[in-house]
A and B are shown apart, each in its own frame.
Chain A
Amino acid sequence: MKKMLNPRKGVALAMVMVFCIAILGLVTVLVFNTRSHKGSHTYQHDTSRALMAATAAMQLAIYKYRVLPSEYYKIHTLETLKNKGTADAAALNALNSFKTAWMADFQSDNAGSPAAKIKAEIDKSTGGNHSFGVEEFSLVSKAAQGYTRDYLKIRAWGASGDTRKVLEELIEVRISD
């Protein structure tokens, strides 16, 4: 009877238990946050590597354009005809074949391609697993008063792990008359 009349008995323990639960909650949040931070380490590293791979794809595209400029202009001429609507079936077939062959060298997944050789070198140098390619390679012209400028528009992508990055550049070229 006397025990039941003591209203404050056990209050300290109850409060400590509440504090403990709060602290354990804090620990749980911290542990999960730390785990997600460890994931973002990998993400940052992969992002930089993906950008480097995309840069390599971009440079490879420029390199090939320097080797085979006239071959690329064949594609460009056929594409211009197609856009004007004056290309016949044979021209369209030739355009598809040329374009497929032109772009195949830039994809690191194509075994034996120049891109695959570059990928192997980058993987060997950094110990990572990269892949890259070129999504778009086109020639765009900008005409203004008194001048016309031509640019190569290259959109390249690079990937490392689960991260994929895309780079797009306009590179000024001078086409000899």
Chain B
Amino acid sequence: MPLSAREKISPPYCPSRRAGLSLVEILMALLILTIAVLPAIGALSGYYGVATRQMEQEMALKLGEAVVNVLMTANYSELKEGAIPALPLNIQTPSGSFSGTMSFAGGYASGTPVTIGKTKYIIGAEVKKIFLAQNIGTPHNNALEFSWISPDAPPPPFGGGAAPPPPPIATYSCFNDLICLKVTVDFGGAKPIELATFRADMAR
């Protein structure tokens, strides 16, 4: 049966010709989209988790530094003797603020909870006497010793060449302790933040 002129030139608009193909296309499209979207959701979730963890770690580091700064300005004698009173902690951040105290027992402060935003940070601190004062009468092995060299340079060796460096003529140690300050901030991460530094007596 010959086709009419209209059938020859017009595109196949008839719905019955496209219905099956569209269903297959849509199903395939859904399958491909699902395959593509699932890792995207996973990546987005991972990205959000990493960003949150980074924010918490940054806050934990700032808290740790703040507590170290508080300990650096606290009374040296009280720190040394382990008679530290409750130290005030006033922290203000864009995520929230905290006002409270850090209580010490001896040279230790453990488990001071600080909640900023939705995260709880547990701050611990430790004051240790590592390098102790030393007097001439009571020498020990836990003192930091500094040496001083002879003001008179030794003569140059026979046959020329550079003179050797002058030998130390004495060692000196301090009459104050050099104390170690250690701060730990646990924020539920894999590993708590640990910062440590030393402090000398600045009063005199």
Which residues of A approach B to under 8 Å, CB–CB?
Answer: 2, 5-10, 12-13, 15-17, 19-20, 23-24, 26-27, 30-31, 33-34, 37-38, 40-41, 44-45, 47-49, 51-53, 55-56, 59-60, 62-64, 66-68, 71, 74, 90, 93-94, 97-98, 100-101, 105, 114, 117-118, 121-122, 125-128, 171
Which of A15, A45, A56, A101 meets B57, CB within 8 Å?
A45
CA of A30 to CA of B29, assembled, Å: 24
9-residue interface stretch from B87-95, B102-110, B196-204: B196-204
Q: Is B136 an interface residue (CB 8 A)?
A: no
Chain B interface category by residue count: 35 or more
- Interchain CB contact under 8 A, B61 and A59: no
Kindly list chain B residues whose C-beta atoms are within 8 Å of the C-beta of A74: 151
Query: In the assembly, what is the distance between CA of A60 and CA of B29, in Å?
Result: 68
Asked if residues B131 and A56 are in contact (CB atoms below 8 Å), the reply is no
Residue pair B50, A114 in contact (C-beta under 8 Å): no
Our pick among B39, B153, B200 for the contact of A63 (Cβ within 8 Å) is B200
New A-B contacts (8) at CB < 8 Å, excluding given A52-B195, A56-B198, A93-B153: A23-B40, A59-B199, A60-B178, A60-B198, A101-B166, A118-B198, A121-B180, A171-B202
Asked whether A41 lies within 8 Å of B195 as measured between CB atoms, the reply is no
Contact among B22, B32, B65, B197 with A59 in the assembled complex (CB-CB below 8 Å): B197
Asked if residues B36 and A24 are in contact (CB atoms below 8 Å), the reply is yes
Find A114's partner among B29, B54, B144, B201 (CB 8 Å cutoff).
B144
